[in-house]
């Protein structure tokens, strides 16, 4: 396993980040422990979760993935100081008027709940899950700065921010001497490039933010399991997700997958491994957030670390997937 600094910080994180959104949703608790064990055994130290995972499942109050992470830390005996645990705040976690958002009130309540669920006394990277147009950015950043000063949080980051809101946050932190966002979680992959590349990429590169892309395999589209002209199998995301249906409707996306497949076959690698290799070849990217329901899926994902794209291959994939 390789490691990179998280943006301009001195914190080193594994080249792949283990996402946890699927646990308690598409995979049970026992799978989580097996996958986490395999990830740690491979040298992985970076875990990403959120308080709202998996609140969208009927009967799930949220916090389930955080609970699994905490139980695994205790069960496995993994040294806490060797693991980098990231979680997020913003989403609705109750029925009250202050049970969501980025107000000081909600952040201070949410961080305590996350710490309890994970049975830890500090969070390595605390991230705002998306911006909150109703909470002044100064209020949000002062609350996060207090958590850093108290030692409950070590670094702060954000996710799903447009460039202008990210720049505003960086400016306010600089002006007021507050802890600043040191990472960004953008939605970024070979078939979803414009959102990050239009402006956010330059902001992260210029101001030294770590980049932790989520959905690096486009919800499964970039695994090659969906075939041109074939109806997505029942029970897959492709059968229900509007976004994946949009991917499926474009011939150029299928052309891209065909090329990834050909490149992979020449190496004995899968479509998913080649798609991840494209991200890993980008010096701006710190660690894609990957999800695995089983150890076998993790082992396939880990194979991407063995792939080194040539400059010509990288340029070809850039051209095939360029946004308009």
Residues in a beta bridge with 289 = 17
Residues 6+ away with beta carbon under 8 Å from 149: none
Is 26 inside a domain boundary?
yes
Is 254 inside a domain boundary?
no
CATH of the domain at 19: 3.20.20.100
Is 39 inside a domain boundary?
yes
Higher pLDDT, 249 or 135: 135
Structural domains counted in the chain: 1
Average pLDDT over residues 249-265: 95
Residues in a beta bridge with 3 = 14
Contact call for residues 280 and 290 (beta carbons, < 8 A)? no
pTM summary value:
0.95
Backbone angles phi, psi at 19, to 5 degrees: -80, 155
Average pLDDT over residues 86-99: 97
Please identify every residue annotated as catalytic: 53
Is 305 inside a domain boundary?
no
pLDDT of amino acid 243: 86
What does the pLDDT look like over 226-237, one tens digit per residue?
A: 888 777 776 677
Dihedral in degrees, nearest 10, Cα atoms 239, 242, 243, 248: 50
Percent of the chain with pLDDT over 90: 88
H or E element that contains 40: helix 29-41
Full domain range(s) for residue 96: 3-185
Is 253 inside a domain boundary?
no
Task: Give the confidence band of 16 by pLDDT, cuts at 50, 70, 90.
Answer: very high
What does the pLDDT look like over 175-234, one tens digit per residue?
A: 999 999 999 999 999 999 999 999 999 999 999 999 999 999 999 999 998 888 777 776
> In 134-250, which residue ranges form alpha helices assigned H by DSSP?
137-150, 163-176, 194-197, 200-207, 242-248
Nearest to 191 by CA among 317, 74, 69, 81: 317
What do you get for the CA distance between the two ends of the chain, in Å? 35
Percent of the chain with pLDDT over 70: 98
């Amino acid at each position: 396993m390789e490691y990179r600094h998280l943006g301009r910080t001195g914190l080193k994180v594994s080249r792949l980040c283990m996402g946890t959104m699927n646990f308690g949703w598409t995979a049970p608790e026992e799978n989580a422990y097996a996958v986490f064990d395999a990830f740690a055994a491979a040298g992985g130290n970076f875990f990403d979760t959120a308080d709202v995972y998996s609140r969208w499942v009927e009967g799930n109050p949220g916090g389930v993935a955080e609970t699994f992470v905490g139980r695994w830390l205790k069960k496995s005996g993994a040294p806490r100081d060797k693991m980098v645990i990231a979680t997020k705040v913003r989403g609705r976690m109750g029925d009250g008027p202050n049970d969501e958002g980025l107000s000081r009130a909600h952040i201070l309540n949410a961080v305590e709940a996350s710490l309890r669920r994970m049975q830890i006394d500090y969070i390595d990277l605390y991230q705002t899950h998306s911006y909150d147009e109703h909470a002044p950015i100064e209020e949000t950043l002062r609350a996060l700065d207090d958590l850093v000063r108290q030692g409950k949080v070590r670094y702060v980051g954000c996710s799903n921010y447009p460039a202008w809101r990210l720049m505003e946050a960086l400016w306010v932190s600089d002006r007021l001497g507050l802890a600043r966002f040191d990472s960004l979680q953008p939605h970024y992959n070979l078939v979803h490039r414009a959102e990050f590349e239009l402006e956010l990429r330059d902001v992260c590169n210029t101001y030294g933010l770590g980049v932790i892309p989520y959905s690096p395999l486009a919800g499964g589209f970039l695994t090659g399991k969906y075939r041109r002209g074939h109806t997505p199998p029942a029970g897959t995301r492709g059968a229900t997700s509007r976004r994946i249906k949009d991917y499926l409707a474009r011939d150029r996306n299928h052309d891209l997958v065909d090329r990834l497949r050909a490149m992979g076959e020449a190496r004995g690698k899968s479509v998913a491994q080649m798609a991840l290799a494209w991200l890993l070849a980008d010096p701006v990217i710190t660690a894609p957030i990957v999800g695995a329901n089983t150890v076998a899926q993790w082992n396939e994902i880990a194979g991407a670390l063995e792939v080194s794209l040539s400059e010509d291959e990288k340029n070809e994939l850039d051209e095939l997937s360029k946004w308009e």
